[in-house]
Amino acid sequence: MTGGRAVVSIALVWSVALTAGCARYTQRIDLAGPQPSLAPFAIAFERNPSVVTLEALHRHMRLGGVDRASLDAIVGAIANKDIEPRIVAAAAVDLATYAWGDSFATLRLDNLHAQRARSLRTVARTADLAWSMLALRAAYLIQPVDLSGMDLRDRSQFVGQSMNLRSVNFSGSRLSPAVWHDCNLTWASFVRARAGGALTCDRCFWEPGGQPQRKTFVRGRWLS
Amino acid sequence: MDAGSRNRVESALDRCGWWPIALVLAFDAALLPWLAHPYDVTAFLTHADRVFFAHVRPAILWPYGGVALAAVLLSQLPVAAFPQLWAAVPLRLALLKLPMLVADAGTALIIRRYAGPGGGTLWALRYLLDPAVFFVTVAHGQSDALAGVFAVAGIALTLSGRFEWAAVALGIGTGAKLYPAAFVPLLLVVAYRNGSPKRALASAAYFAVMAACTVVPVVAGRTAAFAGAFANNSFGAESHRVDSASPWALLNAIAPFLRPALEDLAVVIVPVALALAELRHRPQRVDIARAAMVSAVALVMLDPGAHPPFYLWIAGPLVLYCAVARDGVVSAIGALLSATAVAMQFCQEGSEEYLLLNFGTGVVPGALRCVVPNAGLLVAAAVLALALVVAAYRPLLLPVGSRSAARVAALVAAAGISAYLGIAFAVAIVMAAFLNGSKALGFEGEMRLLNTFAIDPAVRRIGDGCELTYDAADIIVYAGNDYAAPYATAALGYTLYSPETIVVRDRSVDPERLAERFENIDVRTVAQRDVRVTREFDVSGPLRPFRFVERIEERPCSLIAGTPVLLYRFDIAGAARDAARQPFWERFRQARNSTELRRVKGSVP
């Protein structure tokens, strides 16, 4: 083989390899983009919420790979199925960590739909998930959370304990009678909220830098 | 200002005798009881409390040398005698900072003594009014000044040819913090060139003996913990962390290939190289002081773990060099570098935390807000450090006169910045005292925080559950003695709890039947990871007596990484309260005769 032919052959092989490589890379970039359909890990979790599917979910959420449709599916699965509590707890941690705002929006819609459909178990599950996520809310966060109109009745012990409920909108929501402790209720809205019994908040804050106080919730207002 | 009047400023200060120095120290003393870095200072106070009220061995959990330990314990002796003073925060802060104030005064006097004929008071004031010196000793409360006085004494003694005494000073200083050891290569080279090989060897021996005397009692028996911490910082998880006060943070952004091990090496190489460079001649006073100053600059600026208070390390050698060389330009640049470090601290952590222990949260010193991004301050610090080195070596390159205007201007600059800091803090203190006095104080909360130790589990699957191993060997040692154990509690902390059964020491326990509490603290840092704990169950009963390593089985396994954490708490306030019921001498007499006390058998193997 002459030198010229050798150069042409090498160039040819290089070009083919380069083209194939670029095509493959472009394909990978396309795949990494936003998907309009449900992500496979979300479908798997929705069909069978188990430790295995939760692990896949966790991996993908940690990498930021969750779109709104998948999120709806995940929250929907928790709202509509009887799932092992430890799986719900772990999913709540992931939702609160990686998709705080969208998760609450989905949760609220599911809760409102369930109220209209009189699906009490779905209402209870969404309420519990909402409180679990609120328990995880860091004390320094101030962005509003819209829980208006939700049925948030949940008799679990952890509800209202050392929670940052600052700027949470409870307007028109239903709450369980309880004694909350050490909560930050600064700028939380309770317009037309209802508690089916005595709701008290002890050592709670209602204004920035204020003193901790004990107040009772009476007809939409916190009274000393 | 003409030359005559400039000289008159220096001579006028000299004529005032000790008064200007005494006035500055009095100003410092008036402010220091009211300000403190909440974490750093509470760590010192809580250490003293553990020793006094729980009879924990002094060296346990102490991260510095014996000199710093002695300063903390001796300063807090009145609280040991009268535990009723436990929450007298201003008094405790004043006592804690007193050795540092004395150390600063000592450094100022050494500099005054070595400044040569005339102008000594100006240089002593320049040191005392350095923004980093004022900030660290008066506001922050770290013990850097203690190491600083011995470092400056060591350098000064080297200047005057008393090499053996210099070695002793540097050895003692190493017992406060390790950095005075960085001046030893320079000492050995100067002792060799200006003295003799024999004197160099003797100096090395003196240093080794003194450093051993002050460091070994603290390190003895804990070499594994120290080695582990060193390995973690240099090669482990922490090795990739560059503190935001270190200019490496800038370089790493543009040159990510730099390795932390290389950065650590630079800290060692520069002082050694500077010392070796002095082998070329018989070093004069100015040469020695300059090499020491540049070593100090390198030590701080090249340390990837540098915090803003570390900039105090530069101040002493810098002012000593300026006093010896009568160099006002370097002095002025040094004042600006110190001011940059203080600004960095305010930008990183905020200035309001300095009022937390005495006045709680709420008052922000308006004049001490962060106004420049930290990256900008880092660039400024790096440029100033570079300018400082260039300015220090400029007399070797081109002949420059000694201008007293620059010396006075540098003093005025340093004094102006420190006065600004002092007045801003004083205004904030007064505001906090009037507006914020009724609020819960931060001291007790900070004490609780510091006496809570969180350990995450090493998880191993066993059948349908998991075995959680909690290795707390290096942090619950205090719980092994008869006095401390009753004040220690243990809890399992969950991010979100879901029903499970735990087996503790072969006993099956339902956590929901245990006493519980809900945390209002966002995160706990466990093994350099942030873990959120929302609910805790008290496992003090099942876990007593406490062990170094605890194994708990849980069924089913938690699916939330890193939980449940095991939280050990030590009620230091309770220990102080109980100690107050007995006179000082009776408490310690009982400690010697431990058979009279309830033995917590097998507490710690």
| Full DSSP string of A166-179 | TTEE-TT-EE--EE
**Distance between CA atoms of residues B319 and B314, nearest Å:** 9
pLDDT tens-place string over residues B314-339: 999 999 999 999 888 999 999 999 99
Q: How far apart are CA B208 and CA B181, in angstroms?
A: 10
**Rg, chain A, Cα only:** 25
Residue with tokens 């600026």: B301
* φ, ψ (nearest 5 deg) of residue B115: -75, -10
Give the DSSP letter string of A42-86.
Answer: HHHHHH--SHHHHHHHHHHHHTT---HHHHHHHHHHHHHS---HH
> Does the pLDDT value for residue B369 go beyond 60?
yes
Using one digit for the tens of pLDDT, what is the confidence trace for A106-159? 999 999 999 999 999 999 999 999 999 999 888 778 889 999 999 999 999 899
> Which residues face B553 on adjacent strands?
B467, B503
A157 vs B contacts (CB less than 8 Å): 516
- Interface check for B558 against chain A (CB to CB < 8 A): the answer is yes
- Kindly tell me if the per-residue pLDDT of B297 is higher than 80: yes
Q: Token digits for B12?
A: 């006028």
Helix/strand/coil for B549: strand
* Main-chain phi, psi angles of A120, to 5 degrees: -65, -35
Q: Is B198 strand, coil or helix? A: helix
Between CA A149 and CA A166, with CA A97 as vertex, the angle to 5 degrees is: 45
Do the strands A199-204 and B501-504 form a parallel or antiparallel pair, or are they unpaired? Answer: unpaired
Determine whether the interchain pair A85/B498 forms a contact, defined as Cβ–Cβ distance below 8 Å: yes
H or E element that contains B588:
helix B584-592
**Higher pLDDT among residues B45 and B527, named by residue:** B45
Show residues of chain A in contact with B361, CB under 8 Å.
209
Q: Are B561 and B457 in contact (CB under 8 A)?
A: no
- Nearest-angstrom CA–CA distance, A111 and B37: 47
What is the token pair recorded at B529?
Answer: 């990871």
What pLDDT is stored for residue A138 in this prediction?
82
Cβ count near A181 (within 10 Å): 19
pLDDT above 50 (res B599):
no
Q: Taking a C-beta distance cutoff of 8 angstroms, is the pair B362, B435 a contact? A: yes
Note the pLDDT of residue B434. Answer: 79
A181-200 mean pLDDT: 92
Which pair of tokens denotes residue B120?
């000594």
User: Is residue A26 predicted with pLDDT exceeding 50?
Assistant: no
Tell me which residue in B516, B523, B559 faces A86 most closely, judged by beta carbons: B559
- B400-428 residues labelled b (16+ CB within 10 A) or e (exposed): eeeebebbbbbbebbbebbeebbebbbeb
Q: What confidence category does residue A19 fall into, taking pLDDT thresholds of 50, 70 and 90? A: low
CB contact (8 A) between residue B500 and residue A86: yes
Contact map slice: B 485-514 vs A, CB within 8 A: 495-500
Q: Which of A166-175, B198-207, B224-233, B523-532 has the lowest mean pLDDT?
A: B523-532
Buried b (16+ CB within 10 A) or exposed e, B142-162: bbbbbbbbbbbbbbbbbbeeb
Q: Please give the residue that has the higher pLDDT: either B230 or B451.
A: B451
B523 Cβ under 8 Å from any chain A Cβ: yes
CB half-sphere exposure, A15, CA atoms < 13 A? 6
Closest to A136 (Cβ–Cβ): which among B362, B534, B557?
Answer: B534
- Residues B226, B123: Cα–Cα separation, whole Å: 39
What would the mean pLDDT of A202-212 be, rounded to a whole number? Answer: 83
In this prediction, residues B121-145 reach a mean pLDDT of: 94
Do residue B559 and residue A211 have CB atoms under 8 angstroms apart?
no
Would you give the DSSP letter of residue B326? Answer: T
Q: Do A88 and B497 touch (CB under 8 A)?
A: no
Q: Of A45, A54, A82, A158, which to mutate for an interface test with B (greatest number of B Cβ within 10 Å)?
A: A158
Q: Which two tokens stand for residue B96?
A: 């804690």
In this predicted structure, the answer to whether residue B253 has a pLDDT above a threshold of 80 is: no
Please name the residues between 306 and 365 in chain B that touch chain A, using a CB distance below 8 Å.
361-362
Q: How high is the pLDDT of residue B11?
A: 81
**With b meaning 16 or more CB within 10 Å and e meaning fewer, what string describes A146-157?**
bbbbbbbbbeee
The predicted complex's ipTM stands at: 0.78
CB neighbourhood size of B383 (10 A): 15
Query: Given the DSSP bridges, would you call strands A168-169 and A145-146 parallel, antiparallel or unpaired?
Result: parallel
Q: Tell me: the pLDDT tens digits for A71-103?
A: 899 999 999 999 999 999 999 999 988 888 899
Question: What span, in angstroms and rounded, lies between the C-alpha atoms of A190 and A148?
Answer: 9
Nearest to B190 by CA among B156, B164, B158: B158
Q: Which residues of B44-57 are buried (b: 16+ CB within 10 A; e: fewer)?
A: bbbbbbbbbbbbbe
Contact A79, A129 (CB under 8 A): yes
| B183 Cβ contact partners less than 8 Å away, ≥ 6 residues apart | B151, B154, B155, B158, B170, B271, B292, B295, B317
Question: How many residues would you count in chain A?
Answer: 224
Mean pLDDT of B286-312: 91
Residues in chain B: 605
pLDDT given for residue A103 in this prediction: 92
**Chain B residues inside the 8 Å CB shell of A161:** 518, 534-535
The model's confidence at residue A20, banded by pLDDT at 50, 70 and 90, is low
- Over residues B465-482, the mean pLDDT reads 81
pLDDT of B20 > 70? The answer is: yes
Nearest residue in A to B531, CA atom: A136
Q: What is the pLDDT of residue B2?
A: 42
Residues of A with CB under 8 A from a CB of B: 51, 54, 84-90, 92-93, 132, 135-136, 138-140, 157-158, 161-162, 181-182, 209, 211
Reported confidence tier of residue B399, pLDDT bands at 50, 70, 90? low
Interchain contact, A139 vs B497, CB within 8 Å: no
Token readout for B324 is 């010896």
Mean pLDDT of the region B21-41: 94
For residue A70, the model assigns a pLDDT of 87
Of A85, A87, A90, the CB nearest to B499: A85
Chain A hits for B439, CB-CB cut-off 8 Å, are 211
Amino acid at A33: G
Q: What letters, b where the CB count within 10 A reaches 16 and e where it falls short, cover B548-585? A: bebbbbbebbbbbebbbbbbbbbbbbebbebbeeeeee
Give the pLDDT score at A25.
46
Is A86–B558 a contact, with Cβ atoms under 8 angstroms apart? yes
On whether any CB of chain A is under 8 Å from the CB of B516, the answer is: yes
Best of B534, B537, B554 to disrupt the A interface (most A CBs within 10 Å) is B534
Which of A45, A51, A57, A93 best probes binding to B when mutated, by most B CB atoms within 10 angstroms? Answer: A93
Residue B454 clears pLDDT 60, i.e. is over it: yes
**Residue A92 and residue B496: Cβ atoms within 8 Å?**
yes
CB pairs under 8 A between A and B: 61
B467 band by pLDDT with thresholds 50, 70 and 90:
very high
Whether the link from the prior residue into B545 is cis, omega within 30° of 0, is yes
Can you give the pTM of this predicted structure?
0.80
Most confident of B180-184, B367-371, B394-398: B180-184
State yes or no: pLDDT of B9 exceeds 80. no
Q: What is the pLDDT of residue A18?
A: 60
pLDDT at B394 over 80: yes
Query: Beta B501-504 vs B549-555: how paired, if at all?
Result: antiparallel
Query: pLDDT grade, residue A13 (50/70/90)?
Result: low
Residue B580 φ/ψ, nearest 5 degrees? -65, -15
Residue B494 dihedral angles phi and psi, to the nearest 5°? -110, 140
Strands (E), B199-313: none
Phi/psi for B453 (5° steps) reads -120, 120
Provide the pLDDT for residue B257.
Answer: 59
Interface of B with A in 429-468 (CB under 8 A): 439
Tell me how crowded residue B505 is: count the other CB atoms within 10 A of its CB: 12
